[in-house]
Chain A
Amino acid sequence: MSAVSLLTIEIATAILAIGLLVIGLIVPKDQRQGIGYLATFGLIIVFALTLLYTNVQETVFNGMYIIDPYSTFFKQLFLAAAILVSVSSFDYVKRLGYNQGEFYSLMVFATLGMMMLASAGDLISLYLGLELMTITFFVLTAYRKNDFKSSEAGIKYVILGAMSSAILLYGLSLIYGVSGTTVIGEIAKGLNQGAQPLELLGMIFILVGFGFKVSAAPFHMWSPDIYEGAPTPVTAFLAVASKAAGFAALVRLLVIALPSLQSSWVVIVMVLSALTVIFGNFVAIPQTNIKRLLAYSSIAQAGYLLFGLVAYSALGVAAILFHSLLYVFANLGAFTVVIAFYNKTGSDEIKDYTGLARRSPLMAAVMLLSLLSLAGIPPLAGFVSKFYLFTAIIDQGYIWLAFLGIGMSMVSVYYYLIVIKVMYMGEPPEDSEPMKLPVSIQATLYATMLVSLFFGIYPAPLTDLALSVAKAFFPF
């Protein structure tokens, strides 16, 4: 296939984003609501296009860009997340009332950046994809201009994001300096002349840079403030898709480019993952704001995802793929409830969720299933994916880490149950009425609930897919 036909997905996404930007400028102000529908429709078409590429394994421009089942899996994940977020944000953006076209356009641009991260075959494309994603999120985070918290979150994200990018870039430049190539597939060959201190330094900087992006402890401190301050649909997209994109790139870099340093980076990743699950789960307990609670829970989930990297095996990579899919859908379900609840009540406090089960059984049920899935309770998808993650590390002999993970999962059940208790046992406020949800929100809620339930009860198709993708990706 020619380079252009292999790049169809990226080109289509770029055209969609630029098209939305232009349409947002020429359509009269009172008719801009339709742009959200257009964005969703366009994303669905791009998603359909990716189905044609599921088994393609090719590189273009001498290894500069890789189209393989691994990257296509992640692209489909990002697109699914983008579709669900855009559907669930119709009302939110309408309430926002300004810059509607730009909102969806920026969201599609961020998706394009994530795709580049998953597919990048050299360090320059990887870095540019990362920056495209991050800079778009800077703008989206500060989108509510009259909201003090949103502006504060934007500023914090700019400063910390720029610093972590600088650290990552320094690491990448050191690896280039030692190996003499920026092509990820050839770095391993360039590094073969014995481990040098400089390689280790580059690797550490890369781990720190990506640690920020996936919010692993101790580089997580940006995420709760920013998740709380950003507009909720942006938080949802930031929490699920950008984290998955960070993992896609990190796994490719460590496994393909730096296998010679495996014995060194596995120790660092192990410490990071243990710290992350402990910290994320314990600090989540005292939270009273649902967005902050979900932020700490997603820090903890990043720790579980790092387990797959510690395992350094095809099963580990497959478990990362499986868990990131479950993580995306469970978190999107929970965040969609938060978006809908905010649209109705204007509150993000957990205590205001009291009696939600009686005001809106659907919202409470989706929140329940999403949280239990994140906690890893059978028969939900979270159980299966955590089972694979723990199996992968036990296979490699890290039994203590598996025990730690299981113990921390139990801690997580506690704070998830607090929310569930408020929703189901609490009394609804005196003057409250049943909540009517718009069709778009209902569709998102049903979709996320179905995915969590279906892959929990019948995980075989997804397991087979994840394993075959991981085997094609993992070199040995």
Chain B
Amino acid sequence: MTSTIIFWLIAIIIMGSALMVVLLRNIVHSALFLVVTFVGVSGLYVMLQADFLAAVQLLVYAGAIAILLVFGVMLTVRGDIKYSNLFNRHKFTAGVVSLGLFLLIERIILSSDLLISNKPALESTVGPIADALLTDYVIPFEAAAILLLVAMVGAILLARGEGKPQ
């Protein structure tokens, strides 16, 4: 019973802050609400007894990525920061379409039965994750490493001006 209440609390926090990310006009405020969303998701991991993932979520997303985001905003935004995350003129149409899609997907999810695992929670979650990453999931793991390398090289290429010393 308590866990249901906590789940709904976390869910409301996640949904509310995610909405704020989209709706607020100041992009720094949006970034801060994104941090709240990340923290909420790590709360979900805690409820699923995935303690290690929860910690990673907090450290990597709420910590590192949020700071990167704010830095990105700081280095790129010009003009008035209060109006840095604006809507275009399709605000109303987009709202109606999103609401319709939300109601449809919500109906579909409620009318399906999802698989629920009834395995007991793991004693330690770090070991099995490490095992999985270096056995069955080694290809996605390595591919993610290459993907990050490519993204980094690409970011440097695009940020560096043409003709500058290489």
Query: Interface of A with B (CB < 8 Å)?
Result: 7, 14, 17-18, 21, 29, 60-62, 64-65, 97-99, 102, 105-106, 109, 112, 116, 122, 124-125, 128-129, 131-132, 135-136, 138-139, 142-143, 145-146, 154, 177-180, 196-201
Contacts and interface: CB of A to CB of B under 8 A. Distances in A.
B150 interface: yes
17 contacts: A7-B139, A14-B146, A60-B139, A98-B162, A109-B146, A132-B146, A132-B147, A135-B154, A136-B150, A139-B153, A139-B154, A139-B158, A146-B162, A177-B115, A197-B111, A199-B112, A200-B108
B117 to A, nearest CB: 8
A132 B158 contact: no
Nearest to B158: A142
Interface stretch (B29-37, B50-58, B86-94, B130-138): B130-138
A132 B150 contact: yes
Contacts of B109: 198
A64 B115 CA distance: 21
B108 A99 contact: no
Q: In the complex, which range does the number of interface residues on chain B fall in?
A: 20 to 34
Contacts of B138: 61
B114 interface: yes
Interface string B124-160: 0000000000011111101110110111011001100
A128 B147 contact: yes
Contacts of B149: 18
Contacts of B115: 177-180
Contacts of A197: 108, 111-112
B153 A198 contact: no
Contacts of B108: 197-198, 200-201
A8 to B, nearest CB: 13
Contacts of B136: 61-62, 64
Interface of B: 105, 108-109, 111-115, 135-140, 142-144, 146-147, 149-151, 153-154, 157-158, 161-163, 166
Contacts of A131: 147
B143 A129 contact: yes
Majority secondary structure, A binding face = helix
Considering residues B108, B115, B149, B154, which has the most beta carbons from chain A within 10 angstroms of its beta carbon?
Answer: B154
B162 A65 contact: no
Contacts of B161: 145
Given A7-B139, A102-B153, 6 more contacts: A18-B149, A64-B139, A124-B137, A125-B143, A128-B140, A146-B162
Contacts of B139: 7, 60-61, 64-65, 116, 125
Contacts of B147: 128, 131-132, 135
B140 A109 contact: no
A125 B136 CA distance: 11
Nearest to B117: A180
A122 B135 CA distance: 14
Given A106-B153, A128-B147, A129-B143, A61 B112 contact: no
B116 to A, nearest CB: 10
B157 A99 contact: yes
B74 to A, nearest CB: 20
A227 to B, nearest CB: 19
Contacts of A177: 114-115
Nearest to B114: A177
A283 to B, nearest CB: 23
Nearest to A126: B140
B158 to A, nearest CB: 6
A139 B158 CA distance: 7
B137 A135 contact: no
Contacts of A136: 150, 154
A136 B161 CA distance: 19
A388 to B, nearest CB: 33
B143 to A, nearest CB: 4
A468 B150 CA distance: 36
Contacts of B162: 98, 145-146
B135 A198 contact: no
A65 B166 CA distance: 38
Q: Which 8 A-B pairs have the closest CB atoms?
A: A139-B154, A198-B112, A128-B143, A180-B115, A197-B108, A196-B112, A124-B140, A61-B136
Nearest to B144: A128
Nearest to B156: A102
A60 B142 CA distance: 15
A451 B55 CA distance: 56
A146 B162 CA distance: 8
A116 B143 contact: yes
Nearest to A63: B136
A124 B147 CA distance: 13
A125 B144 CA distance: 9
A145 B160 CA distance: 9
A86 to B, nearest CB: 17
Contacts of A132: 143, 146-147, 150
Contacts of A200: 108
Contacts of A128: 140, 143-144, 147
A225 B140 CA distance: 32
